[in-house]
Chains A and B, each alone.
Chain A
Amino acid sequence: MSDSSAASEFSGPTEPSAATKQPKEPESQAQAATASSGPPKRSLASRLATRSAGGVLRVFLILTALFWLTPAVGLLVSSFREPEDMTASGWWTVLSKPADLTTRAYSTLLENDEITDALLNTVWITVPSTLGVVVIGAMAGYAFAWMDFKGRDWWFVAVVAMLVVPIQIALIPLARLFGDIGVFGTIGGPILFHIGFGLPFAVFLLRNFFAEIPRELLEAARLDGAGEVRLFFTVVMPLAGPALASLAIFQFLWVWNDLLVALVFTTTDSQPLTVALIRETRAFSQNIETLAPGAFLSLVIPLAVFFAFQRQFVSGVMAGAVK
């Protein structure tokens, strides 16, 4: 299975991930449509109307895009201003005198141990939970796809049923359970939690992906003497690269951006960036000098992932949005 065909697994006819491919497709389709069946002789008036309507549309879209960007630009610009300026005048005033920008808020932020520790905690929480979900989910997904055991389909239905279970239901029971086994207040808490709640989606996604692997391929490998375990690691996993990537990106984002789980299960020593920042929001206008660069720091990595892996990103986010 080649890379591109794997990608198409996520862009079926009604499949969202087509988004990134769309720029070409719908347009060419639309053009084709007009070319083939478009009325050959439109009146001048109607053509003019269409054109001016197009102008209005363009302006509207540009304004909408600017409108959409404004809030985020506000944060970005604010994060590059002196704290005193921030309370004195709006961030938009800087647009006329960009010389006032400074990176001081960032250097202060990065000298703040609490924030840097929290950033590291975010990484230490995110990486294991992502790996855990991918590995455990892939194993189970493979078992559901290619292994024979009693009640297989019912087990799978049960796992899929867990897809929409709200995470809120587990907060109280797991606070107790984690207290009992001594992981409460460590990064172990959120890691376990995110693995648990990431699994139903992972199993579902990967099982359906694995099920499409041609049987002959596996049989051939098996005839070559590969054991079930080796088969999984040397044949199945490499084939599933794109699906694993989408899953990993979704899980990564989910954990990186999580606030609630970390808020409940971590203490000052183990808190990730989101929790460290929420403490600062209590005195919002006061702490904006920490919050603006801090929030930007927390969103720059997801954004980088967004731009680097657009296709997998969109399909991952779309597919997992139900959480």
Chain B
Amino acid sequence: MRTTLRTRRAALAIVAVGALALSGCGDDKKSEDKPGGGKDTGAAETVELPKLDGQTLEVSAVWSGPEEKNFKAVLAEFEKRTGAKVNYLSTGDNTATVLGTRIEGGKPPNVSFLPQVGVLQQFAERGWVKPLGPEAIKQLDKNFSKGWKELGAYEGKQYGVYAKAANKSLVWYNTEGFETAGISEPPADWKGFVETAQTLSDAGWPAVSIGGQDGWTLTDWFENIYLSQAGPEKYDQLAKHEIKWTDPSVKQALTTLAELWGKDDLIAGGAEGALRTEFPKSVTQTFSGDTPAAMVFEGDFVAANINADTDAKLGEDADVFKFPAVGAESPVVSAGDVATILKDGEGSQALITFLASKDAAEIWVAQGGVLSPNKSVDMAKYKDGITREIAQALLDAGDDFRFDMSDQAPAAFGGTKGQGMWKGLQDFLKNPSDVEGLQQQLESAAAKAYKG
């Protein structure tokens, strides 16, 4: 049972708060009154579900609080259509332990959302997850692109549905900072990005805020640069450790990264300050305080954090642009939660079929703060414009997006505090001149982790 929870956890904690804030503004009263989304109740049903009266199902995920509430709106619709009762189990931080002990005790939940690709594969290997039935596959074929489907498969069998996604290739910026520095256009490529940062710094704004205390934000920097610069094929190879971390392409990406990280004055608080900054603080110090920073890089969930912890208005005080292209194209690095069946049965299959459907996705995105990789979703159902744009960017990437590399790697390498990629990139932020030393360090850590 290896899971890389850290990434999710931090992100979720925020999304949880943020979703509340998101739903706190605007027309959310309506959706609260009618869980399941007012508009959807009358909409044509695109998926057929069996009658499951009297059955009780259990579904688990890491979400709690407002995020849990949003997801329960989806479950409520399922209950209404099938007559089954669905209990939700929030595993919190303990997914690995909770599922592991439940499975060993012979009482796993029917359906469980797993936070990483690596976990899905590990579970599949141990026979803990059950293959999807034909109905679910039909929905999957209809609504999901090949890339997302493959992420839910293992050795030719389909095990999971990515019902919820994250787009981790975004740079959020403080519009006041851009105005003060006289920057009218967000940069489109890496060179422009570094120049923009320099201009901002000249204007007296801390240019880039980095939440280096959370190792995962740093690995996301590297992954975006590497995907854009070395291309998807190399990215896949590196993710599977088919090429070594001492590969020249890694060196090139790290050297590129050092163009920014090597300039202490471009980083809010300097590298040392960044290493003391947690992800949420990296957002708030960009959009609030006496000397806010100008830009902060991370996924769509930043929006939730801006809403919850700052007074900045999305679209006015805070805006977003795509991660600059380092090579030919802008990267799209994604992450997501995959729904899997841990206990087979008619009810489990029906629930996962529903989760793969257009109907479920539309109810979910209407709650706000959620991205769906489901391509059949009517974009108009998204609750706010910015989320809609981000979702669009994710869908536009088609199958060229790549899943977060550190989430694919064995946990010891890609998702453990003080180890592997997290530790390596934190060391690199401290000392960006030692590219080769870092490559060696990463390679030896990877060699150990991928073998074990």
Contact = CB atoms under 8 A, between A and B. Distances in A.
Do any beta carbons of A and B sit within 8 angstroms of each other in the complex? Answer: yes
Interface of A: 87-88, 113-114, 175-176, 178-182, 184-185, 264, 266-269, 271, 279, 282-287
B100 A179 contact: yes
A178 B90 contact: no
Nearest to B95: A267
B101 A283 contact: no
Given A176-B104, A184-B97, 8 more contacts: A88-B290, A175-B97, A179-B102, A179-B104, A182-B105, A184-B102, A267-B89, A267-B91
Contacts of A178: 101
B289 interface: yes
A286 B278 contact: yes
Nearest to A189: B101
B93 interface: yes
B13 A267 contact: no
Contacts of A266: 94
B401 interface: no
A285 B98 CA distance: 29
A179 B93 CA distance: 17
B278 A283 contact: yes
B102 A283 contact: no
A88, A114, A181, A282 interface centre (most CB from chain B within 10 Å)? A282
Contact of B281 (A182, A271, A283): A283
A284 B211 CA distance: 13
B222 to A, nearest CB: 22
B278 A175 contact: no
B107 interface: yes
Contacts of B78: none
Contacts of B94: 185, 264, 266-267
Interface of B: 9-10, 13, 64-65, 89-94, 97-98, 100-102, 104-107, 278-281, 284, 289-290, 309
Contacts of B281: 283, 285-286
A107 B159 CA distance: 45
Nearest to B311: A84
Nearest to B211: A283
Contacts of B93: 279
Given A175-B97, A267-B91, A269-B90, A284 B278 contact: yes
B278 A268 contact: no
A28 B98 CA distance: 59
The interface residues of chain B, by DSSP majority, are classed as helix
Given A114-B65, A267-B90, A268-B90, A286 B105 contact: no
A2 to B, nearest CB: 50
B289 A87 contact: yes
Contact of A267 (B9, B98, B105, B309): B98
A225 B428 CA distance: 81
B92 A285 contact: no
A117 to B, nearest CB: 10
A209 B9 CA distance: 49
Nearest to A269: B90
B9 A282 contact: yes
Given A176-B101, A179-B100, A179-B101, A268 B290 contact: no
A180 B13 contact: no
A177 B208 CA distance: 49
A184 B279 contact: no
A181 B107 CA distance: 10
Contacts of B92: 267-268, 271, 279
A283 B13 contact: yes
B284 A286 contact: yes
Contacts of B91: 185, 267-268
B420 to A, nearest CB: 19
A285 B285 CA distance: 11
A87, A180, A266, A283 interface centre (most CB from chain B within 10 Å)? A283
A282 B105 contact: no
Given A268-B64, A269-B90, A286 B309 contact: yes
Given A267-B92, A271-B92, A283-B10, A184 B280 contact: no
Contact of A264 (B89, B97, B278, B279): B97
Contacts of A283: 10, 13, 278-281
Nearest to B60: A267
A269 B92 CA distance: 9
A233 to B, nearest CB: 37
B53 to A, nearest CB: 26
A130 to B, nearest CB: 25
29 contacts: A113-B65, A175-B101, A176-B101, A176-B104, A176-B105, A178-B101, A179-B100, A179-B102, A179-B107, A180-B104, A180-B105, A182-B105, A184-B97, A184-B102, A184-B105, A185-B91, A266-B94, A267-B90, A267-B91, A269-B90, A279-B13, A279-B92, A283-B10, A283-B280, A284-B278, A285-B278, A285-B281, A286-B278, A287-B280
A317 B251 CA distance: 57
A184 B98 contact: yes
Given A87-B289, A286-B309, A185 B280 contact: no
A182 to B, nearest CB: 6
Contacts of B102: 179, 184-185
Contacts of A287: 280
A266 B284 CA distance: 31
Nearest to B101: A179
B280 A286 contact: yes
Contacts of A264: 94, 97
Contacts of A269: 89-90
B430 to A, nearest CB: 20
A300 B403 CA distance: 46
B152 to A, nearest CB: 25
Contacts of A180: 104-106
B101 A181 contact: no
A181 B102 CA distance: 10
B101 A282 contact: no
Q: 5 closest pairs, A vs B, by CB?
A: A179-B101, A268-B92, A179-B105, A268-B90, A283-B280
A87 B288 CA distance: 11
A264 B92 CA distance: 11
A282 B284 contact: no
A182 B102 CA distance: 8
Contacts of A267: 89-92, 94, 98
B104 A282 contact: no
A209 B39 CA distance: 71
Contacts of A175: 97, 100-101
A181 B94 CA distance: 18
A180 B317 CA distance: 53
A81 to B, nearest CB: 16
Nearest to B68: A268
B70 to A, nearest CB: 15
